[in-house]
Structures are given as C-alpha cells and as structure tokens.
C-alpha cells in the first residue's frame, strides 16, 4: 500500500497495538521490573510485538519499543515510573546540552535492532514490520521538560528564549534519528514511522523550523543510506501544517483524529498514501459508533492508497471484541 496501490479492502494495524489492553501483554510486562527493561530485552520485546499479530492478524506489526530510547542513548538518564509516565534529566541550559553524547550510542540500542531481526524472522512474509522513532520536536520536548506535560510549555518557551540552543538540540536528535532509523531498516524493518505527537502545539513559523524542516532532513538522510525507504510521517497537525508536512518527502502521512478525511483526500497530493484515522473512543464504544466511523473513513479515502489505523494510540480500556469487530468489518 505504501508503494501506491489502491486496494478494495485497506490493510489495517493500530497504533499502540501491543499494550495494556491485552492480557498477554500485561502478563509478560509483569515479569520485568521496568518498561525500559522490556524495551531492551529482544526476546520479550519480539514476543510482545508478535502478540497482536497472532490474536488479530493485523497486516503490519509495529516494533515494541519507545520514542524515548533515543534520549536514553544520547546519554540522558531516562526512566518510566508506573502511573507517572516518563522521567528524564531536563536539558534546559548549554551545560545540560554539553553533557549529551555527540552521537547516538548504538551499543545501547543494539537490543532494539536485535528485536527487529527477531520479529522479521518470525513474521509471516505478508505481514509488514514497521520500525519507528519520535520526531525531533516531540523527543526534544520531553528532554526539555523532563516529563510529560499538558502542552509542552517548557520546550516552546525555550525555543523562543534561546533558539540557538534549541536548534542544536533539534539537530542532535535529528542526526540520531537518521542513524537509528537507518539501522532499523538495515535490520529488516519494511517501513519506518516518525511520531510527532506534539507538533500540533506549534504555530506556523515554529512548526516550519522545529517540525517540518527536521522531518525533511530525516527523510533525505535516511534515503541517502536506504534509497526508496518507506517513511510514514505522523505530525499530529491539520490544515496548512499538514499540507506542508506533505512536502517533506515522506512516503505516507498518518492523520490525527482531528483531520477530516474527506478534506484530506481533496487537499493532499493525489496518490499520497494516507493512514488513519478512527477515534480510539469509537473503538471503545463499539457498535454503531464504531461501524459508522469505519465506514466514513473508508469511503473518504477509497480512491487513494489507504492504510486503516486509529487517529491516536489504542488505550488500555479498549474491549478486545471491538478490535475483532473492526478487523472483521474491514475484511468483510
Ligand atoms: O505502537 C506500539 O504498539 C509500539 C510501541 C510504542 C510505545 N510507545 C509503547 C509504550 C510506540 C510507537 C510508542 C510511541 C510513543 N511513546 C509516543 C508517540 C505516540 C503517542 O502516543 O503520542 C510518545 C509520546 C511516547 C512517550 C511515552 N511512552 C509516554 C508519554 C508514555 C507514558 C504514557 C502511557 O501511555 O503509558 C509511554 C509509555 C509506553 N510506551 C507504554 C507503552 C506500551 C506503556 C508502558 C507500560 O506498559 O507501563
């Protein structure tokens, strides 16, 4: 589908498809002290990646890891505390920036690449394996705040107060992302996705500098090493920002739930594959809400390459029968 064909039945996978809504995930997660221990354990991470494929037969698997392994491999102490989300040593000064590694430590990320190799070796040939990283703005926003925030206020304030320092931080994460995604493709990923979950907090000028340009640089950097690499961009933006994201060279764009897929079909370049964008709440609701949401998105994107997905990650309160209903409706 990322190669441009239009299918009568769109392929489907779900963001965060390996996770806490699955009892088999919760069982395995309980065997490691921390979430990062699971991310850095190739045998267990591969198993978790495969769990939703076995259960639902999705058309793609997404590598089980996290976007914050990149700051960790740049030498920034990173942890996840159950119930509190991520915790990092905040980078807010030139001294803090100077403490980072110049280049991403690929030794630290070796277990993730081993997970990619293991999963590709176990997946059916017809199931794609998607690798990923966070986009520089989204990753940097956690590095600056040191934790999750409601609006990434600390990173936005730093970008206005000291744009030179913020530019150096963005450039460091951009270079790390090129190295890391290239290594995932070399290890067997069929495509890679770049999550810019927080791009939507940026006004036009800031979006261009901190989200759009770094995305374009990652695309050209990865393609210099892997010509033809399939790269899915997922900047959670709409309107003009989404039109600009389409100029970065990405193979496909993921749509957030706020994007009207009928508008997207008319506004975005013909033939550009789109991924998305069912509301995770409709999947929780099930029944008519689910069916109507699915049918509307399918009809909007029927004339172009479309990969069915959610518009944001699946949440732990999602009933498993509703996921089965979604897949059955798409395949009927
Ligand atoms: O999609 C998948 O199934 C693959 C794995 C994956 C995870 N995180 C696993 C995870 C992917 C692709 C991500 C991306 C990610 N991580 C993003 C971008 C997408 C988005 O959701 O906006 C972001 C911003 C993060 C950072 C992150 N990781 C936060 C803020 C949190 C805590 C909040 C939460 O949802 O728990 C995480 C933890 C995390 N990442 C979990 C999982 C399965 C939960 C950890 C657990 O099991 O306790």
Domains of the chain: 23-331 (3.20.20.210)
Ligand 1 atom closest to the Cα of residue 49 is 3
For 268-286, the pLDDT digits (tens) are 999 999 999 999 999 999 9
CA of 82 to the centre of ligand 1 (A): 12
* Buried b / exposed e along 9-42 (16+ C-beta atoms within 10 A): ebbbbbbbbbbebbeebeebbeeeeebbebbbbb
Query: Average pLDDT of 309-326?
Result: 98
CA of 19 to the centre of ligand 1 (A): 9
Looking up tokens 């803090």, which residue turns up?
Answer: 96
ipTM above 0.90, yes or no: yes
The pLDDT score that the predictor gives to residue 83 is 80
Is ligand 1 within 6 A of the CB of residue 17? Answer: yes
For 49-65, the pLDDT digits (tens) are 999 999 999 999 999 99
For 204-243, the pLDDT digits (tens) are 999 999 999 999 999 999 999 999 999 999 999 999 999 9
The pLDDT score that the predictor gives to residue 303 is 97
The pLDDT score that the predictor gives to residue 2 is 86
Is ligand 1 within 6 A of the CB of residue 15? Answer: yes
For 145-170, the pLDDT digits (tens) are 999 999 999 999 999 999 999 999 99
Ligand 1 atom closest to the Cα of residue 138 is 24
The pLDDT score that the predictor gives to residue 228 is 96
CA of 66 to the centre of ligand 1 (A): 6
Would the pTM count as exceeding 0.90?
Answer: yes
């Amino acid at each position: 589908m990322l190669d441009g064909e239009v299918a009568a039945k769109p392929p489907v996978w779900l963001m965060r498809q390996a996770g806490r809504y699955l009892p088999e995930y919760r069982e395995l997660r309980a065997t490691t002290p921390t979430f990062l221990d699971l991310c850095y354990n190739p045998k267990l991470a591969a198993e978790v990646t495969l769990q939703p494929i076995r259960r639902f037969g999705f058309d793609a698997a997404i590598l089980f890891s996290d976007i914050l392994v990149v700051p960790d491999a740049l030498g920034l102490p990173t942890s996840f505390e159950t119930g509190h989300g991520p915790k990092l040593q905040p980078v807010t000064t030139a001294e803090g920036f100077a403490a980072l590694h110049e280049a991403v430590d690929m030794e630290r990320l070796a277990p993730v690449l081993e997970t990619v190799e293991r999963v590709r070796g176990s997946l059916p040939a017809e199931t794609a394996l998607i690798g990923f990283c966070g986009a520089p703005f989204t990753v940097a926003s956690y590095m600056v705040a040191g934790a999750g925030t409601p609006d990434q206020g600390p990173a936005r304030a730093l970008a206005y107060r000291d744009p030179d320092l913020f530019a150096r931080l963005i450039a460091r994460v951009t270079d790390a992302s090129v190295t890391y995604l290239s290594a995932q493709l070399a290890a067997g990923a069929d495509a890679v996705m770049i999550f810019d979950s927080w791009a939507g907090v940026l006004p036009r000028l800031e979006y261009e500098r901190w989200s759009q340009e770094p995305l374009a640089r990652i695309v050209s950097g990865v393609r210099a090493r892997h010509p033809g690499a399939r790269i899915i961009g997922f900047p959670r933006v709409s309107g003009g920002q989404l039109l600009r994201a389409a100029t970065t060279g990405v193979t496909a764009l993921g749509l957030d739930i706020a994007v009207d897929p009928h508008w997207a079909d008319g506004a975005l370049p013909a033939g550009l594959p789109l991924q998305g964008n069912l509301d995770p709440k409709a999947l929780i609701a099930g029944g008519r809400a689910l069916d109507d949401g699915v049918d509307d998105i399918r009809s909007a994107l029927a004339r172009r390459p479309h990969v069915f997905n959610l518009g944001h990650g699946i949440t732990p309160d999602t009933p498993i029968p509703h996921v089965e209903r979604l897949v059955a409706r798409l395949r009927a």
